[in-house]
């Protein structure tokens, strides 16, 4: 470092307060648009990749965005139920392989996703520890769920009760963790997977009771006559499925009428996909979505909002440039005696110009670096925060 650059560096380090104010102005001007740009591009790439890996989604007619995001990210959006009958209809049609999704409940804030073993093959998910769910009450957890809750094979996890004040609803289910999925950097890392029948158990469609013909507390029996036992409302509905009580659990109603939130349909080929789309075009209460199109529409809205930020950014940059110009002009006015001294010792006008340019360049460079660091920290925090959501 020599010449005007050395003098400029000595000047900005000597006038720390002035330099700090200028760097702060530049940082505040640059870091927000940098952050918005990086975040939008990151989430666009993530959303598009997840959407392109999912051929078709079948669900109840309504908000397409809620249905698509609920299926891809298990976001728990309020969508109407469809029936297991829809899965049978797709399978019997022979045009696509259906994968049922029931994603309406949570456990410790993480989505509980009821599905079949086909889902794990479809998403190419494998277990790092243990096995996939094999029986009623089993659960396999994503890598981030396991890390966040300290779970491993053999642990247990209680589902969240949806309404604490509705005593008519089913009790929370104590699920047995039989495996932990290998990390994949996808929303599957932040979900708890169970068999779809276990999801129905959480919903209260299935339940088990104590065997009242055996010896139980007298407080639970209202009347006992031969083999007929009348139980009180205090009979405990099982919150845990064990080998000893699994036979007491039973479902109420026709399984084809049991609820799902959506179905992932994997068509056999392009022709089958076209025929399946045509079938659901005429449906009055079902819709078939192409996730890439829905995500493209959603991100189109986001990009329009980003354009507003860009327009606002140009206005802020203009005001910052005017402010810096004012500071430079005032600085030159204050430093007239300093400049005259430099002329007298032989410095040319070009040297004085490059001195001012070097000072401004140093301040701009520091501001840009600080803005980049702050933006990077915010982006990293925002990514982690969104994963928690």
Distance between CA 90 and CA 223 in Å, rounded?
A: 49
pLDDT winner (highest mean) among 46-50, 121-125, 309-313: 121-125
Report DSSP state, residue 154: T
Distance between CA 341 and CA 140 in Å, rounded?
A: 77
Residue ranges making up the domain that contains 310: 4-46+299-388
By C-alpha distance, which of 253, 273, 201 is closest to 83?
253
Q: What is the pLDDT of residue 1?
A: 53
- The answer to whether residue 183 is domain-embedded is yes
Q: Which residues make beta-bridge pairs with 230?
A: 223
Which two structure tokens, joined as six digits, stand for 178? 């039989």
Do 119 and 137 belong together in one domain? yes
Overall size of the chain counted in residues: 389
- The answer to whether residue 225 is domain-embedded is no
- The answer to whether residue 226 is domain-embedded is no
pLDDT at 274 over 50: yes
Q: For 79-120, write each residue's pLDDT tens digit.
A: 889 999 999 999 998 999 999 999 999 999 899 999 999 999
For residue 264, the SS3 value is: strand
Q: Looking at per-residue confidence, does 111 or 163 come out higher?
A: 111
Do 117 and 34 belong together in one domain? no
Q: For 25-51, write each residue's pLDDT tens digit.
A: 888 777 777 777 777 777 788 888 899
Q: What is the pLDDT of residue 164?
A: 54
**Based on the number of CB atoms within 10 Å of its own CB, is 382 exposed (0-12), middle (13-18) or buried (19 or more)?**
middle
Do 39 and 179 belong together in one domain? no
Name, in order, each residue with C-beta under 8 angstroms of 164's C-beta and a sequence gap of 6 or more: none
pLDDT at 146 over 80: yes
Query: Beta-carbon neighbour count of residue 303 at 10 Å?
Result: 11
Stretch 333-355: mean pLDDT: 71
pLDDT at 252 over 60: yes
Lookup result for tokens 């007929």: 228
- The answer to whether residue 304 is domain-embedded is yes
Q: What is the pLDDT of residue 226?
A: 53
Element (H, E) at 127: strand 127-130
Element (H, E) at 115: strand 110-115
Query: Beta-carbon neighbour count of residue 52 at 10 Å?
Result: 11
- The answer to whether residue 51 is domain-embedded is no
Do 110 and 256 belong together in one domain? yes
Distances (CA, A) of 190 to 134, 180, 185, 315: 20, 11, 9, 40
Q: For 208-248, write each residue's pLDDT tens digit.
A: 654 544 544 454 444 555 554 444 444 445 478 888 888 87
Q: For 8-31, write each residue's pLDDT tens digit.
A: 777 778 778 888 888 888 887 777
336, 342, 343, 349: CA torsion to nearest 10: -80
- The answer to whether residue 109 is domain-embedded is yes
Percent over 70 (pLDDT), the chain = 82
Q: What is the pLDDT of residue 358?
A: 82
Q: What is the pLDDT of residue 229?
A: 46
Do 113 and 17 belong together in one domain? no
Last residue of a domain, one of 260, 289, 318: 289
By C-alpha distance, which of 196, 190, 194 is closest to 174?
194
Q: Looking at per-residue confidence, does 352 or 146 come out higher?
A: 146
Strand ranges (DSSP E) for 131-280?
Answer: 138-141, 156-158, 174-181, 191-195, 206-207, 221-225, 228-231, 250-251, 259-260, 262-267
Q: Which residues make beta-bridge pairs with 106?
A: 111
pLDDT at 147 over 70: yes
Do 146 and 275 belong together in one domain? yes
Lookup result for tokens 């810096």: 324
Q: Model's pTM, two decimal places? A: 0.72
Do 69 and 10 belong together in one domain? no
Q: Sorting pLDDT into bands at 50, 70 and 90, what band is 261?
A: very high
Lookup result for tokens 């976001």: 75
> In total, how many domains does the chain have?
2
Q: For 172-182, write each residue's pLDDT tens digit.
A: 889 999 999 99
Q: Looking at per-residue confidence, does 167 or 368 come out higher?
A: 368
Do 258 and 342 belong together in one domain? no
Query: Beta-carbon neighbour count of residue 1 at 10 Å?
Result: 9
Do 200 and 313 belong together in one domain? no
Weakest-pLDDT range from 6-20, 263-277, 330-344? 330-344
Q: Sorting pLDDT into bands at 50, 70 and 90, what band is 207?
A: low
Do 85 and 176 belong together in one domain? yes
Weakest-pLDDT range from 146-150, 280-284, 347-351? 347-351
By C-alpha distance, which of 239, 125, 217 is closest to 172?
239
Mean pLDDT of the chain: 81
Do 8 and 77 belong together in one domain? no
- 74: phi > 0 → left, psi -120 to 50 → alpha, else beta; which? left
Last residue of a domain, one of 289, 317, 342: 289
Distance between CA 118 and CA 124 in Å, rounded?
A: 10
Q: What is the pLDDT of residue 18?
A: 80
Last residue of a domain, one of 231, 266, 289: 289
Q: For the residues of 319-337, what is the DSSP string, one character each?
A: HHHHHHHHHHHHHHHHTHH
Q: What is the pLDDT of residue 225?
A: 55
Distance between CA 221 and CA 211 in Å, rounded?
A: 11
Q: What is the pLDDT of residue 95?
A: 92
Q: What is the pLDDT of residue 43?
A: 77
By C-alpha distance, which of 298, 290, 279, 286 is closest to 260?
286
Distance between CA 366 and CA 24 in Å, rounded?
A: 10
pLDDT at 382 over 70: no
């Amino acid at each position: 470092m020599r010449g005007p650059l050395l003098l400029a560096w000595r000047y900005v380090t000597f006038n720390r307060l002035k330099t700090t104010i200028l760097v702060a102005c530049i940082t505040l001007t640059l870091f927000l648009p940098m952050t918005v740009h990086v975040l939008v591009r990151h989430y666009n790439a993530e959303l598009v990749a997840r959407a392109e890996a999912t051929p078709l989604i079948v669900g109840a007619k309504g908000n397409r965005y809620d249905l698509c995001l609920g299926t891809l990210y298990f976001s728990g959006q309020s969508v109407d139920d469809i029936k297991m009958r829809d899965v049978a209809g797709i399978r019997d049609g022979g045009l696509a392989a259906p994968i049922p999704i029931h994603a309406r409940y949570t456990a410790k804030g993480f989505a509980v996703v009821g599905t079949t073993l086909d889902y794990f093959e479809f998403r190419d998910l494998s277990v790092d520890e243990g096995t996939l769910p094999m029986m009623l009450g089993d659960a396999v957890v994503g890598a981030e769920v396991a890390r966040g809750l300290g779970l491993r094979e053999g642990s247990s996890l209680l589902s969240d009760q949806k309404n604490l004040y509705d005593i008519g609803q089913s009790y929370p289910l104590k699920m047995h963790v039989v495996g932990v999925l290998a990390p994949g950097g996808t929303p599957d890392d932040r979900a708890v997977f169970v068999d779809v029948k276990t999801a129905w158990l959480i919903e209260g469609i299935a339940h088990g009771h104590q065997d009242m013909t055996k010896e139980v507390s007298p407080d639970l029996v209202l009347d006992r006559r031969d083999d007929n036992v009348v139980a009180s409302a205090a009979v405990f509905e099982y919150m845990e499925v064990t080998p000893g009580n699994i036979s007491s659990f039973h479902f109420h109603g026709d399984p084809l009428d049991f609820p799902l939130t959506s179905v992932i349909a994997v068509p056999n080929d392009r022709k089958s996909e076209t025929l399946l789309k045509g079938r659901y075009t005429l449906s009055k209460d079902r819709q078939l979505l192409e996730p890439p199109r829905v995500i493209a529409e959603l991100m189109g809205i986001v990009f329009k909002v980003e354009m507003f930020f860009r327009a606002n950014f140009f206005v802020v940059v203009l005001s910052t440039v005017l402010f810096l110009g004012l500071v430079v002009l005032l600085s030159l006015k204050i430093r007239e005696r300093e400049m005259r001294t430099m002329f007298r010792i032989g410095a040319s006008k070009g040297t004085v110009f490059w001195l001012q340019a070097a000072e401004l360049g140093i301040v701009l460079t520091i501001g840009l670096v600080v803005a980049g660091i702050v933006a990077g920290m915010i982006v990293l925090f925002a990514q982690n925060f969104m994963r928690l959501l």
